């Protein structure tokens, strides 16, 4: 079957003060339909650059990338992107931020409100519908962004450290919620994280990147689901994988 996302020999170079900065060098990766791929790597190894390319926000310097065999050259509605930094609209309250993608698609107002209400509930923000982004905590803003991405029912989700800034309990709740939504949905997920445990709890495949996006490890995660964090921490296979990923991250830093 054709992969949903196909990246071939991608390189990305930025120019800053007349100097070239290489962010990604000769990066290739396929992502299969319905897969949940965790991408792990140290800060600066090119993770966000890869997602920006996949989202069609920036062009590669060289190489090719495809969404279902069509070259990616602009953002598309089938792909939802939860960026690393906040892109909520400060002049819109929570509900209207979440309704935004539906407004673009001209969904009728009553349906928009209903759907936004469902997602507000799911991410635990009931009671905050009329709050503006500046009136929310960082973790709450993150959850609004998550709801805004999910509201468009994208078939492919690109997520850049979505839960990094959340407290442990909330993080665990939202991980479970994301898995609940994903399982059986057929959606394809590319999930960037710094956290080895998170990568293993969520992914059915983990890709560890080294400098300039070098693929250090690409491994299928065959742990049975649901993966309870407390059980996993004492599971021999989980512990072994954790060790392997720790080693790969260390190797990638070289
Ligand atoms: N717009 C830009 N202009 C210049 N350099 C950039 C730009 N965007 C990224 N870079 C550089 O590209 C490299 C990779 O950046 P990227 O944001 O992809 O890293 P990352 O893996 O997402 O890191 P982090 O985990 O800290 O988010 C870095 O060296 C960064 O400085
Ligand atoms: Mg990043």
| Cβ of 252 below 6 Å from ligand 1 | no
| Cβ of 47 below 6 Å from ligand 1 | yes
Nearest CA to ligand 1 atom 2: 14
Quick check: bond before 226 cis, omega within 30?
Answer: yes
Q: What are phi and psi of 80, to 5 degrees?
A: -95, 140
State which of 10, 11, 14 you would mutate to test the pocket of ligand 1, scoring each by most atoms of that ligand within 8 A of its C-beta: 14
Q: What Rg value do the Cα atoms of the chain yield, rounded?
A: 18
Nearest CA to ligand 1 atom 20: 44
* CA-to-CA dists, residue 100 to 74, 103, 150, 189, angstroms: 19, 5, 12, 22
Q: Could you tell me which residues come within 8 angstroms of residue 112 by beta carbon, excluding any fewer than 6 positions away?
A: 99, 102, 103
| Cβ of 172 below 6 Å from ligand 1 | no
| Cβ of 14 below 6 Å from ligand 1 | yes
CA 192–ligand 1 middle distance (angstroms): 13
Nearest CA to ligand 1 atom 8: 49
CA 36–ligand 2 middle distance (angstroms): 18
Q: Could you tell me which residues come within 8 angstroms of residue 209 by beta carbon, excluding any fewer than 6 positions away?
A: 39, 40, 41, 45, 46, 47, 215, 216, 252
CA 46–ligand 2 middle distance (angstroms): 7
Contact 5, 79 (CB under 8 A): no
CA distance between the termini of the chain: 35
Residue that has been written with the tokens 């996993």 in this structure: 232
The pTM of this model reads 0.95
Architecture of the 1-30+38-78+195-254 domain? 3-Layer(aba) Sandwich (3.40)
Separation of alpha carbons 119 and 186, rounded Å: 19
**Hey, what are 175's tokens?**
């991980």
pLDDT, tens digit only, all 254 positions of the chain: 789 999 999 999 999 999 999 999 999 999 999 999 999 999 999 999 999 999 999 999 999 999 999 999 999 989 999 999 989 999 999 999 999 989 988 999 999 999 999 999 988 999 999 999 999 998 899 999 999 999 988 999 999 999 987 888 989 988 998 998 898 889 999 999 999 999 999 999 999 999 999 999 999 999 999 999 999 999 999 999 999 999 999 998 88
CA 130–ligand 2 middle distance (angstroms): 30
CA 49–ligand 1 middle distance (angstroms): 6
Nearest CA to ligand 1 atom 11: 23
Q: Which residues pair with 22 in a beta bridge?
A: 13
């Amino acid at each position: 079957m054709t992969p949903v996302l196909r990246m071939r020999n991608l390189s990305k170079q930025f120019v800053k003060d007349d100097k070239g900065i290489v962010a990604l060098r000769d990066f290739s990766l396929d992502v299969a339909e319905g897969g949940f791929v965790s991408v792990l790597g140290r800060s600066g190894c090119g993770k966000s650059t890869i997602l920006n390319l996949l989202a069609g926000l920036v062009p590669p310097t060289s190489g090719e990338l495809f969404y279902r065999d069509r070259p990616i050259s602009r953002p598309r509605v089938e792909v939802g992107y939860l960026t690393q930094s906040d892109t909520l609209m400060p002049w819109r309250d929570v509900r209207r931020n979440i309704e935004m993608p539906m407004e673009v698609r001209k969904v009728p107002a009553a349906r928009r409100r209903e759907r936004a209400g469902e997602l507000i509930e799911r991410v635990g923000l009931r009671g905050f519908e009329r709050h503006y982004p500046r009136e929310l905590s960082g973790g709450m803003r993150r959850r609004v962004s998550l709801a805004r991405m999910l509201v468009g029912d994208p078939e492919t989700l690109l997520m850049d450290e979505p839960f990094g800034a959340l407290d442990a309990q909330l993080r665990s709740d939202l991980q479970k919620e994301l898995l609940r939504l994903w399982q059986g949905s057929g959606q394809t997920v590319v999930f960037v994280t710094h956290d080895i445990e998170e990568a293993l709890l969520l992914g059915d495949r983990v890709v560890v990147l080294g400098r300039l996006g070098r693929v250090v490890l690409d491994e299928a995660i065959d742990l049975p689901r649901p993966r309870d964090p407390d059980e996993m921490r004492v599971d021999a296979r989980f512990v072994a994988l954790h060790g392997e990923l720790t080693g790969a991250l260390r190797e990638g830093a070289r």
